[in-house]
């Protein structure tokens, strides 16, 4: 049995157990899953069928708090010029150039 088949069988077993017991809450407790997870599986099964039970790969990374590329480039150009400057100083110096950047962002990207 492949990994994909195992995932599909596990999700189908969740739905089947709930139908056998006639009680979704007790089936979810028995299997250690949330009711929301059960309803997600159930709706995916009803909408798309068994193929929709496979785990979907996320193709687009979720990048949070990312600064613009121009700001990142300027910050990376600034760092070798003044390697002893800390994140607060880098933020203050770039602010003089019109680049608003919090000290936390300058530490995370640099």
What is the predicted pLDDT for the residue at 59?
A: 67
What is the predicted pLDDT for the residue at 24?
A: 92
Q: What residues make up the domain containing 32? A: 3-53
63 inside domain: no
**Which pLDDT tens digits describe the chain residue by residue (110 residues)?**
787 788 888 888 888 999 999 999 999 999 899 999 999 888 888 887 777 777 666 667 667 777 788 888 888 898 899 989 888 898 899 899 998 887 775 555 54
Q: Write the CA distances from 45 to 27, 66, 68, 69, integer angstroms.
A: 17, 36, 41, 42
**Total of domains in the chain:** 2
Do 49 and 80 have their domain in common?
Answer: no
Torsion of CA 18, 23, 25, 29, to 10 degrees: -60
How many CB atoms neighbour CB 81 within 10 A? 8
What is the predicted pLDDT for the residue at 39?
A: 92
pTM, 2 dp:
0.48
Do 48 and 87 have their domain in common?
Answer: no
């Amino acid at each position: 049995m492949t990994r994909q088949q195992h995932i599909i069988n596990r999700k189908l077993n969740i739905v089947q157990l709930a139908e056998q017991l006639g009680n979704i809450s007790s089936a979810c407790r028995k299997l250690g899953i949330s009711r929301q997870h059960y309803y997600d599986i159930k709706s995916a099964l009803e909408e798309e069928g068994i193929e929709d039970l496979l785990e979907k790969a996320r193709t687009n990374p979720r990048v949070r708090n990312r600064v613009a590329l121009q700001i990142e480039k300027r910050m990376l150009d600034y760092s070798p010029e003044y390697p002893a400057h800390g994140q607060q100083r880098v933020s203050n110096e770039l602010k003089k150039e019109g680049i608003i950047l919090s000290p936390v962002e300058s530490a995370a990207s640099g």
